[in-house]
Amino acid sequence: MNNLVAILLAAGDSGRLWPIDEKLFINFQGSSLIEHSLNQLIRIGIKNFYLVGNSKNAVLCRKLQDIYPRVNIKVAVQKNNLGMAGAVISVKKEIMNHQILVVGPSDVYEDYLLTEFAGLYRQKPDGIMVGKKLDYYAPLGYLQTDNDIVKGIIENPPRDKIKTNLAAIVFDYFRNSKILVEAIEKSTSKKDDLYEVAKDRLIREGLVVKLLSYNGYWGYLKYPWHVLDISSYFLSRIKSKINKVRIDKTVKIEGQVCLEDDVTILENVKIVGPVYIGRGTLIGQNCLIRESMVGRNCIIGFASEIARSYLSSNSWFHRNYIGDSVILENCVFGSGAVTANYRLDSLNINSAIVGKKIDSGRTKLGAIVGRNCRIGVNTSIMPGIKIGSNSFIGSGIVVDRDLPDNKYLEYKDGHLNIVDNRIKINHHHLEDNRLKLKF
Amino acid sequence: MNNLVAILLAAGDSGRLWPIDEKLFINFQGSSLIEHSLNQLIRIGIKNFYLVGNSKNAVLCRKLQDIYPRVNIKVAVQKNNLGMAGAVISVKKEIMNHQILVVGPSDVYEDYLLTEFAGLYRQKPDGIMVGKKLDYYAPLGYLQTDNDIVKGIIENPPRDKIKTNLAAIVFDYFRNSKILVEAIEKSTSKKDDLYEVAKDRLIREGLVVKLLSYNGYWGYLKYPWHVLDISSYFLSRIKSKINKVRIDKTVKIEGQVCLEDDVTILENVKIVGPVYIGRGTLIGQNCLIRESMVGRNCIIGFASEIARSYLSSNSWFHRNYIGDSVILENCVFGSGAVTANYRLDSLNINSAIVGKKIDSGRTKLGAIVGRNCRIGVNTSIMPGIKIGSNSFIGSGIVVDRDLPDNKYLEYKDGHLNIVDNRIKINHHHLEDNRLKLKF
Amino acid sequence: MNNLVAILLAAGDSGRLWPIDEKLFINFQGSSLIEHSLNQLIRIGIKNFYLVGNSKNAVLCRKLQDIYPRVNIKVAVQKNNLGMAGAVISVKKEIMNHQILVVGPSDVYEDYLLTEFAGLYRQKPDGIMVGKKLDYYAPLGYLQTDNDIVKGIIENPPRDKIKTNLAAIVFDYFRNSKILVEAIEKSTSKKDDLYEVAKDRLIREGLVVKLLSYNGYWGYLKYPWHVLDISSYFLSRIKSKINKVRIDKTVKIEGQVCLEDDVTILENVKIVGPVYIGRGTLIGQNCLIRESMVGRNCIIGFASEIARSYLSSNSWFHRNYIGDSVILENCVFGSGAVTANYRLDSLNINSAIVGKKIDSGRTKLGAIVGRNCRIGVNTSIMPGIKIGSNSFIGSGIVVDRDLPDNKYLEYKDGHLNIVDNRIKINHHHLEDNRLKLKF
């Protein structure tokens, strides 16, 4: 695959994921999503990568070369706003005369998709597209096919007009990059689907594109709670690893539990796998951790319960219940703060996405909390609520609506107020290992 | 006792017990109160029963025949509103020419009362009445006696005019049902005491009624917290039974603890007897269960504490403190919800009964919660508060007054609102055993 | 030291310590501060004491003679308002012709200060004063010295004019009491520093006062959180003692832990020393006690956590988090009540002292709670808040300002109200051991 360049679409960051940003750099099991993607691509022999990022994440993208010294990772910054098509255009000169593989690196799929791609690639087709068999409806692009040949792409068909269950995963191979670039440049679309329109045009103009029919796991990040789905997928494949850790003899571990080095688990803790706990994290006495992914250097304090949640790094919990929740890095929850994760009426939990109420499809969903947040003691966060990064919430509050980034929600004179949060967070307590037990 | 018919007064249901209704069908140790009563009566050889129910509980009453195939249980629906006297009248044709034993089947007494009754019965007296020696004052009917012969009944004497401490338990035998029926039909009373007036008339007209003087436990349901008293009585007689259960080796059990089949108890739980736990109930990690009766298929989730309480079936707790409380079936308590069970001033706890403040006589009393209730996270229910069936309470609320049936108490725009609760509860999570651990 | 009289200044009680009063009688490790002081003085051979108290604590002071039958402890009541100078004047006749040692008995210092004093005393100097080397600035009196001779005292120098780091501890020896009395009577000062002015005058007039330079621990009570500092000091010197106690085999103890007789510790408790627990105290299941001092006959109920706190006697906790807090005797905390001990912004915690906001110098500080307080369930007390004695707080409240003595803070009709608390506390439950487990 020496002549193949993988173009990793790293520029898009969706407001629908708020308060999550930089989705490619969300960590699962110690590696970011883009690293998981690179690992899979490198494993089948790809050596050349173009990461098309944006002005915010280009720095992070450029650091990836250090992690992968044996392959070539170049970074371009996409300046147009033409979506995936624009990403390809951004590097059109650099990929000239190359085969290209366009990949959405926040998507998650099983290794065997890559193996099957490599097999199909050896047959030297003009193009390859991946269709994922769905057993539910979702507003996606769908492949029209005839005997393993892709015949067209229909974008967002209405539910009653859908004729195929093969959702188009962005994992597109073209033996000749030029014809894709030309198709994009010839296409016009006012909607966000220029890339799909160009691909459809190519196919309808006669390019023979092989279908790679895929029936395995496909994870993608459209809404923030999808972090929980992807976390569950990674957890489902985890293997137990318990060494270089300090675990009290009263700790009980069930199922597959992967503990990175320097994890400490104190008395009477129960871990119900699958669970992943990142390096340096401390689990205090009497905690219960179930089916969760916990990042590095967290402190899960006395009598906390973490269930089916994704916790990023450097966060600090104390006598909390965190259920079905996503908590980004550097957060602190006061004693008795709770994420409610179930509606009184048992119905699906809604969440406001870019101002619109969306059914999460889940009866269990807690909170989505951004980076650097602080939650007061005995505060209750209602199901599906999202807290923006750098926002603080006072004590004893019932949080029943989303809080934007950089705000401070306080109870004052009988009313809830939202004011700007100008407080600079002091991280020393989290960084200093000697202070770790001082919560 | 082939010619004796026991008339079980099953028609009365008191508003004073709200939110408890169908008091005869409250379960203690897996059997309803009326079953406990039937068991005692059958054990001394009674084979024929008339249950005089009402239109609401007749269906439940009729099912009892299936449970007791070896005796005859007939059900009549009382249509008049003449109280106990009316119940007897309802079945007057059916009991003609029979000896009758009129029993209040929600009363609880010790087996030896039955044994002593059987002995006295063999002496073939015209009648037998039971007098319970009280060492406290209560507004009840009192027997006047002379050498083991009952000489009259005084209903609700004022405290300073009481001349006897023999409270009349409704456990009345008449060798000839006809004379009781006639006495009732001759008596008139505008108050609720027609039955007692008729009995008093019979005695004063010369019927020789033997006194059965009883000094054992007598439990009755006048106010809802009396469920706790009866529960304590049953618990006081419990014998340990721990088999066909799944108990972690770290669980510690003290005192008499009866665990029905398929009970599961997870790590680091302490059970302080006397405790009864019904079939299929799960006790999660780090719970403490003390001197309580827990029904079937409950989930007592992580780090909950249940103390001196009565929990019915199919309820779901999670990080709660439930103290001195009665929780009927199908309730769900969110994480951190607490029943306060002690006044700040240590005084007796009052509770509103049919609009009137009543001293419960208890310094420790939590909540009385009806069926199908849901309580939000971090909500606090004040001592002696009652929650009607099918009512929901939001999160972080301090509940300091009773909530009627079918209401939803929510905190909205800075105020507590009570609105109608039209939500249909979805029980699937409780019914599906596989989901049991998903709280 | 037969001719030496120690004058213990027991009259001053500072409003800055509120809600703590009678600071000399705060117990640490089973002995009050004044007993700790007497113990040290007696150990070097002093046999005669004058306690100059006030009208409120004279009764308590007089009881000390019973505890120390082998020395002479006399009590005078200071009636003037001349501070320390007035205390000396109050007993001027009684100390005539004696050597005197004027001691602030709420100060805490290491035994070796006494040993060094005894050594210097044997050299028969005219006077001895103690200078404590400080490595931080504090508004205190400072000694000016020249080669171990005290040359003057400067009271409260501004930070930039301070020329010495030798703070004057009130531990002043005079071979001739008369000259001190005369110096006081000659001095005039409108400020609170008459005693220091008189001492300075004596020195400047030529009295040769030896400096006792001291570099050890010096604890004093200026602000209420200083109780935590003194508690930490006593804890730092504690030696493990675990006998005549009842401890479940699952209890885990780390570090130096002193358990007085009749302490009971139930299942799955973790004690992280240094910890002191007073006689008769019960630690319930699943508690975590860290670096704390707990008085006598407390009940630390199920799943509570006590961290770096000072708890006096006869208090009752239940599922609480008490962190960096001072709780005086006879308090009751309802289930789920929490002392927040950390600001969301990680800054130093302020506290209002006599109406003025004072920086406590601590990033971790919980509540200071007076005697006989009751805190409702799920109530949250903010960092640095002080609750006056005999005050009650309802349930589910966020307490964000100090509550005076004898008040009741309740949530009523949507507002927080403060009313007078006229409730007489009924202590029977705390006194009756049989009821101990009934929380």
Instruction: Give per-residue pLDDT as tens, A355-369.
Output: 999 999 999 999 999
C-alpha span between A63 and A323 (Å, rounded): 34
With pLDDT > 70 as the criterion, what percentage of chain B qualifies? 96
Whether residues C296 and C275 fall in one domain: yes
C-alpha span between A435 and A82 (Å, rounded): 49
Residues C378, B303: C-beta atoms closer than 8 Å: no
Residues C425, B346: C-beta atoms closer than 8 Å: yes
pLDDT of C385 higher than 90: yes
Interface confidence, given as ipTM, is 0.92
Whether residues A146 and A70 fall in one domain: yes
pLDDT of B293 higher than 50: yes
Alpha helices in B175-305 (DSSP H): 177-186, 194-204, 226-236
pLDDT of A426 higher than 80: no
Please tell me the distance in Å from C257's CA to the nearest CA on chain B. 24
pLDDT of A14 higher than 90: no
Across the B:C interface, residue pairs with CB atoms under 8 Å apart total 88
Contacts of A408 (CB under 8 A, 6+ apart): A391, A392, A393, A394, A418, A419, A420, A421, A423, C344
pLDDT at residue number C424: 65
Please tell me the distance in Å from C296's CA to the nearest CA on chain B. 21
Whether residues B134 and B167 fall in one domain: yes
Write the single-letter amino acid at A402: D
Quick one: average pLDDT of B106-117? Answer: 96
pLDDT of B392 higher than 90: yes
Instruction: Give per-residue pLDDT as tens, A204-223.
Output: 999 999 999 999 999 999 99
Highest mean pLDDT among A133-137, A432-436, B321-325: B321-325
pLDDT at residue number A293: 98
- Give the rounded distance of the alpha carbon of B323 from its chain centre: 18
Domain limit, last residue, from B176, B196, B219? B219
Per-residue confidence band for C14, with pLDDT thresholds at 50, 70 and 90: confident
Whether residues B310 and B190 fall in one domain: no
Whether residues C92 and C202 fall in one domain: yes
Candidate from A270, A340, A397 with C-beta closest to B334: A340
Candidate from B270, B323, B342 with C-beta closest to C267: B270
Candidate from A414, A423, A438 with C-beta closest to C415: A414
Domain limit, last residue, from B197, B219, B241? B219
pLDDT of A429 higher than 80: no
Quick one: average pLDDT of A255-271? Answer: 97
Here the CATH number for the domain that contains residue C351 is 2.160.10.10
Quick one: average pLDDT of B410-424? Answer: 86
In contact, A235 and A306? CB cutoff 8 Å: no
Q: Residue with structure tokens 């890559």?
A: A114
Whether residues A203 and A259 fall in one domain: no
Instruction: Give per-residue pLDDT as tens, A89-101.
Output: 999 999 988 999 9
Domain limit, last residue, from A219, A252, A268? A219
In contact, C238 and C276? CB cutoff 8 Å: yes
C-alpha span between C219 and C217 (Å, rounded): 6
Whether residues B129 and B17 fall in one domain: yes
pLDDT at residue number B422: 83
pLDDT of C182 higher than 50: yes
Per-residue confidence band for A431, with pLDDT thresholds at 50, 70 and 90: very low
pTM above 0.90, yes or no: yes
pLDDT of C357 higher than 70: yes
Cβ burial B339-356 (10 Å sphere, 16+ → b, else e): bbbbbbbbeebbbebeee
pLDDT at residue number C434: 34
Instruction: Give per-residue pLDDT as tens, B355-369.
Output: 999 999 999 999 999
Quick one: average pLDDT of B411-430? Answer: 75
Q: What's the Cα-to-Cα distance from A173 to each of A118, B36, B369, C173, C227, rounded to whole Å? A: 11, 76, 63, 94, 72
Residues C395, B398: C-beta atoms closer than 8 Å: yes
Q: Residue with structure tokens 């699962």?
A: A28
Across the A:C interface, residue pairs with CB atoms under 8 Å apart total 85
- Residue A381's domain comprises 226-435
Cβ burial C247-268 (10 Å sphere, 16+ → b, else e): beebbbbeebbbbbebbbbbbb
Contacts of C221 (CB under 8 A, 6+ apart): C14, C17, C20, C23, C26, C33, C106, C227, C230
pLDDT at residue number B165: 86
pLDDT at residue number B436: 43
Q: Which of these, A128, A194, A192, A134, lies nearest to A163 by C-alpha position? A: A134
Based on DSSP, count helices (H) and strands (E) in chain A, helices before strands.
9, 41
pLDDT at residue number C388: 97
Quick one: average pLDDT of B9-31? Answer: 91
Beta strands in C298-375 (DSSP E): 299-300, 305-307, 310-311, 316-317, 321-323, 326-327, 332-333, 338-339, 350-353, 356-359, 368-369, 374-375
Quick one: average pLDDT of C108-137? Answer: 94
The region of weakest confidence among B295-304, C186-195, C208-217 is: C186-195
* Helix H or strand E encompassing C49: strand C48-53
Instruction: Give per-residue pLDDT as tens, B299-310.
Output: 999 999 999 999
Whether residues A242 and A213 fall in one domain: no
Q: Which of these, B23, B230, B214, B31, lies nearest to B114 by C-alpha position? A: B214
B340: chain C residues, CB-CB within 8 Å = 334-335, 376-377, 395
Candidate from A268, A338, A414 with C-beta closest to B336: A338
C-alpha span between B145 and B154 (Å, rounded): 11
pLDDT at residue number C426: 55
Per-residue confidence band for A422, with pLDDT thresholds at 50, 70 and 90: confident
Quick one: average pLDDT of A139-157? Answer: 90
pLDDT at residue number C340: 97
Residues A268, C288: C-beta atoms closer than 8 Å: no
B283: chain A residues, CB-CB within 8 Å = none
pLDDT of B430 higher than 60: no
Quick one: average pLDDT of C152-179? Answer: 88
Task: Give partners of B (≥3 CB pairs < 8 A).
Answer: A, C
Q: What's the Cα-to-Cα distance from A155 to each of A138, A199, A243, rounded to whole Å? A: 11, 11, 49
Q: What's the Cα-to-Cα distance from C169 to each of C52, C125, C216, rounded to whole Å? A: 18, 18, 12
Whether residues A194 and A327 fall in one domain: no
Question: To the nearest whole number, what is the mean pLDDT of chain C?
Answer: 92
pLDDT at residue number A437: 41
Quick one: average pLDDT of C104-132? Answer: 96
Provide DSSP, B353-372: ETTEEEE-S-SB---EE-TT
Instruction: Give per-residue pLDDT as tens, A340-350.
Output: 999 999 999 99
Coil, helix or strand at residue B113? helix
Whether residues B167 and B253 fall in one domain: no
Domains held by chain B: number? 2
pLDDT of C396 higher than 50: yes
Whether residues C92 and C114 fall in one domain: yes
Quick one: average pLDDT of A138-142? Answer: 86
pLDDT at residue number B425: 65
Q: Residue with structure tokens 């996503």?
A: A326
Please tell me the distance in Å from A426's CA to the nearest CA on chain C. 6
pLDDT at residue number B187: 86
Per-residue confidence band for B439, with pLDDT thresholds at 50, 70 and 90: very low
φ, ψ for residue A402, nearest 5 deg: -65, 150
Residue C269: closest C-alpha in chain B: B268
Here the CATH number for the domain that contains residue B104 is 3.90.550.10
B334: chain A residues, CB-CB within 8 Å = 338, 340, 342
pLDDT of A427 higher than 80: no
Residues B303, C286: C-beta atoms closer than 8 Å: yes
The region of weakest confidence among A298-302, A334-338, C124-128, C431-435 is: C431-435
Helix B194-204 and helix B177-186, axial crossing angle in degrees, nearest 10: 110
Cα-based angle C398, C402, C405 (whole degrees, multiple of 5): 115
pLDDT at residue number B434: 34
Instruction: Give per-residue pLDDT as tens, C73-89.
Output: 999 999 888 889 999 99
Instruction: Pick from B252, B304, B314, B395 the residue to mutate for testing the A interface (most A CBs within 10 Å).
Output: B395
pLDDT of B239 higher than 60: yes
Q: What's the Cα-to-Cα distance from A60 to each of A52, A56, A67, A78, A202, rounded to whole Å? A: 12, 8, 11, 15, 34
Whether residues C278 and C131 fall in one domain: no
Instruction: Pick from B291, B302, B305, B349 the residue to mutate for testing the C interface (most C CBs within 10 Å).
Output: B305
In contact, B101 and B171? CB cutoff 8 Å: yes
Quick one: average pLDDT of A234-238? Answer: 97
Residues A335, C336: C-beta atoms closer than 8 Å: no
Task: Give partners of C (≥3 CB pairs < 8 A).
Answer: A, B
pLDDT at residue number C433: 38
The region of weakest confidence among A84-88, B184-188, B429-433 is: B429-433
B396: chain A residues, CB-CB within 8 Å = 378, 380, 396-398
pLDDT at residue number B218: 95
Long-range contacts of A78-83 (CB under 8 A, 24+ apart): A78/A11, A78/A52, A78/A53, A78/A54, A82/A194, A83/A12, A83/A192, A83/A193, A83/A194, A83/A195
Q: Which of these, B276, B284, B282, B279, lies nearest to B255 by C-alpha position? A: B276
